[in-house]
Amino acid sequence: MRRSLPVAELARDGRFEQASIMDRLTDPRAAVNVRKASAGTRRPALRAGQPGAPDAARSLMHGIFTGEIQALEGAGRTCWDFELGTGERQVPFALKLDMARQCWDEARHVEISVKLGEWMGTEIGEFAESTILYEAACNDDPILRLTGVNRALEGLAIDIFNTMREFGQATGDPVLEFCEDWMLADEVTHVKMGSDWLRRLTAHDPDRRDRALEFQKVVDKLFSYGGIRGDDDDSPVRLARRFRELAGFDTAEIDEIADLSRQAGRERAERVAARGRPPAVRSADVHPIGADLHSERMAR
């Protein structure tokens, strides 16, 4: 069995299509949303009173589903990829046991996510899959893997699952609320495993710990999705402070994640502003038999 499986070789059937996260972050149409946000009119997509909230929840749930598949794949790789030992590219047996336990949890989450997708009327593969989670699990330093995946990405999972749990509560959806609460408990455990192993394996190597935390910051900032995950009232995905504390984050760390998110949001707004205004309006007139039908393209 090979070690370090590249992301291009992940096993997927024809229902799945992969999309680059950079495609979405550099979408020129994002200019409209960011300008609205700057004008103070951004409204979070996942608030029960918003007309588009059910579809936003469906899309997010599908993202959770593909994320769980990759989390399973990532934990499985971390369980296998490293030799036993005390070297920098080696891990203790107890860490492999924790990764095996995480595989068990993630496999269950995949099953739950499939059922939730059915509940919400979403087909497997209905939305594109971003492989960034698995890519973060490809680092050949086990400590960077754990900080990138277990602390940064599973930390994001805590925020997202809490947001979905609250959405389920607000809409009176007993299935969504229960399932998200169930998975949230596991994610707290996964993050705590990452925090604990980071501390244990770098107890006598502060430089390595600093490199790992720096890598975590990079992943945290990338996964604020240009400021979508944040600590502000209008953040579509809110930082789940209390659950992060249970998972081993201290207040300073959580505050830093919030700051990184605001920074990511500002940088995204600056990139968009630098692109300038959308192109001029073009229109196309079509005259079908029996009716006058015009299709116009317009940019507001």
Partner 1 sequence: MVDFDAGTVTTIAERLFGEVGLPPAVAVTVAIDEATPMARAQIESIDPAVIGVEGGALENPKRIRQLSEARVVDVLGLLFHQLRDRLDPTFGAPPVGDELPLPHKVAWEVYAAGRVAALGYQAQRQRRLYHFRNRHGFTDAADAAFERLWTGRDLTWSEVAGLSDQAAAQATVTS
**Which spans of this chain sit near partner 1 (rule: CB under 8 A)?**
17, 19, 23-24, 27-33, 48-49, 51-55, 58-59, 118-122, 125-128, 169-175, 278-279, 284, 286, 288-300
Least distance from partner 1 to the Cβ atom of residue 269, Å: 16
Q: Are 239 and 231 in contact (CB under 8 A)?
A: yes
Of the candidates 145, 226, 159, 214, the one whose C-alpha atom is nearest the C-alpha of residue 188 is: 159
What's the token pair of residue 244? 């992060």
Least distance from partner 1 to the Cβ atom of residue 242, Å: 18
Q: Exposed, middle or buried, 213 (CB in 10 Å: 0-12/13-18/19+)?
A: middle
Of the candidates 2, 128, 152, the one whose C-alpha atom is nearest the C-alpha of residue 71 is: 152
Q: Which amino acid is at 142?
A: P
User: What CA–CA distance (Å, rounded) separates 222 from 21?
Assistant: 9
Q: Exposed, middle or buried, 260 (CB in 10 Å: 0-12/13-18/19+)?
A: buried
Token pair 């497997």 is found at 124
Q: Kindly tell me which of 107 and 128 has the beta carbon lying closer to partner 1.
A: 128
Least distance from partner 1 to the Cβ atom of residue 16, Å: 9
Q: Kindly tell me which of 2 and 277 has the beta carbon lying closer to partner 1.
A: 277
The secondary structure element, H or E, covering residue 230 is strand 229-230
Q: Kindly tell me which of 49 and 206 has the beta carbon lying closer to partner 1.
A: 49
User: What CA–CA distance (Å, rounded) separates 255 from 252?
Assistant: 5
Q: Are 234 and 160 in contact (CB under 8 A)?
A: no
What are the backbone angles phi and psi of residue 64, rounded to the nearest 5°?
A: -60, -45
Q: Kindly tell me which of 130 and 139 has the beta carbon lying closer to partner 1.
A: 130
Q: Kindly tell me which of 55 and 232 has the beta carbon lying closer to partner 1.
A: 55
Q: Kindly tell me which of 171 and 189 has the beta carbon lying closer to partner 1.
A: 171
Q: Kindly tell me which of 9 and 285 has the beta carbon lying closer to partner 1.
A: 285
Least distance from partner 1 to the Cβ atom of residue 66, Å: 12
Least distance from partner 1 to the Cβ atom of residue 221, Å: 22
Q: Kindly tell me which of 20 and 90 has the beta carbon lying closer to partner 1.
A: 20
Least distance from partner 1 to the Cβ atom of residue 14, Å: 12
Least distance from partner 1 to the Cβ atom of residue 185, Å: 20
User: How many other CB atoms are there within 10 angstroms of residue 230's CB atom?
Assistant: 23
Least distance from partner 1 to the Cβ atom of residue 244, Å: 23
What's the token pair of residue 4? 């370090």
User: What CA–CA distance (Å, rounded) separates 132 from 20?
Assistant: 8
